[in-house]
Amino acid sequence: MPSTKFSSIPQQAFATKEEFLSVLSKARASCQLPVVLGIDEHGNDVFLDLTKSPHILISGTTGSGKSVCTDIVLSSLFCRFSPAELSFLLVDFKAVELWAYENLPYLALPIQTSVEECLDVLDWLENEIGKRYVLLVENEAKDIDELNAKLDVKQPLIVALFNEYIDIVRSDYKDVFIKTISKIIPFCDKVGVHVILTTVRPCSDSIPEIFRTLFATKLAFNTCYKKDSTALLGQPGAEKLAGRGDCLMQTSDGLMHLQISFLLLDVIKSLVQERSGQCKPKVIPVPQETTSDIDLLHAAIKHVIKTQMLSISILQRKLGVGYNKAASLMERMEKLGVISPQVGTAPRQVLMTNIDDFKL
């Protein structure tokens, strides 16, 4: 918690990639999956090991240091591993914060920016986790390290970042997102999958109690209200932070006050460019739309126009699909003008009465 006495903490800014890599090398000496974070109140370097903190929840107001933190986390990871050892899945609902990484050879697919693309990423993660658990069983391995020791083609670590996920929480697919994240997180650790969530507003709507439990590591930057700090950390304090990287980190070991390091944009560009010539990791891409997907869409459209009845659960029962697929079909039908957008808590309306009026 903030001290009753004021003290000055110097801001650590990496002006060159050599400075950053030098500190990262210190982190590698003590961490298996090292992340450089910043410095504590005594000026000591603070590192995070993803093997001990596999999933991270980051929140803070605009200008508080949240984006700076995201940059240094990503940079720490891709500077530690080769593209064959690490893959990123980046979802940026703001569409402007992660552009510096668009040419990074670690990307399993282009940076995703829409709710529909986010649902595809969640589907991919569920499928990939399932496939890796099958590999664990087949190879009698207890985790990703034992598995890779037995495989000729190694499975890369996967880091999935959902930046500003508040956008999907405010959409019609809030329940889809929360349920899927809550479902996959307990199974991620053993198969080398790490999830990072960031949000500008840590309210109770965006951070349900299950998230606070599943994400043991939380980085809190300045929040607007005491209740926002409580929603994230379970206690007040973040509302008193000074901004510009002033941070409270909560882990299983307790609460720590630190200053997040600043990585200059030119340094990030230099690091990305240095690795741009490396081979892309061999991972399964997010599936493109297939004939069966189109058939499902047509079946959904015919059903809602014919019955004038609409809900995700109805589509699940009628088409025999899962929750995520039904939600994705709703999104597609909205974009095609078959159904109305979601407005508040009011039910959607079917906008067409004759199937002959529809053209794909």
| Residue 196 is assigned to a structural domain of this protein | yes
Q: Answer yes or no: do 302 and 268 share one domain.
A: no
pTM for the whole structure: 0.79
Domain that holds residue 169: 13-275
Question: Which residues are 309's β-sheet partners?
Answer: none
Q: Answer yes or no: do 182 and 305 share one domain.
A: no
Q: Answer yes or no: do 267 and 310 share one domain.
A: no
Q: Answer yes or no: do 131 and 62 share one domain.
A: yes
| Residue 29 is assigned to a structural domain of this protein | yes
- The stretch 153-158 carries a mean pLDDT of 93
User: Does the structure show a pLDDT above 90 at 289?
Assistant: no
Q: Answer yes or no: do 235 and 320 share one domain.
A: no
Q: CA torsion 81→184→119→346, rounded to 10°?
A: -150
With contact defined as beta carbons under 8 Å apart, do 163 and 91 qualify?
Answer: yes
Which CATH number is 176's domain given?
3.40.50.300
Q: Residues 297-356: pLDDT tens digits?
A: 888 998 899 888 888 878 887 888 777 778 888 888 888 888 988 776 677 888 988 877
Q: Answer yes or no: do 299 and 246 share one domain.
A: no
- Cα–Cα distances (Å) from 70 to 162, 248, 349, in that order, read 11, 15, 39
Q: Answer yes or no: do 156 and 299 share one domain.
A: no
Q: Answer yes or no: do 59 and 190 share one domain.
A: yes
Q: Answer yes or no: do 124 and 258 share one domain.
A: yes
The number of domains in the chain is 2
Q: Answer yes or no: do 76 and 47 share one domain.
A: yes
Which CATH number is 323's domain given?
1.10.10.10
Q: Is the dihedral of CA 134, 140, 145, 149 positive or negative?
A: negative
Q: Answer yes or no: do 105 and 226 share one domain.
A: yes
Q: Residues 161-180: pLDDT tens digits?
A: 999 998 888 887 888 899 88
Which of 248, 275, 302 represents a domain boundary (last residue)? 275
What's the rounded Cα separation, in Å, for the pair 77 and 34?
7
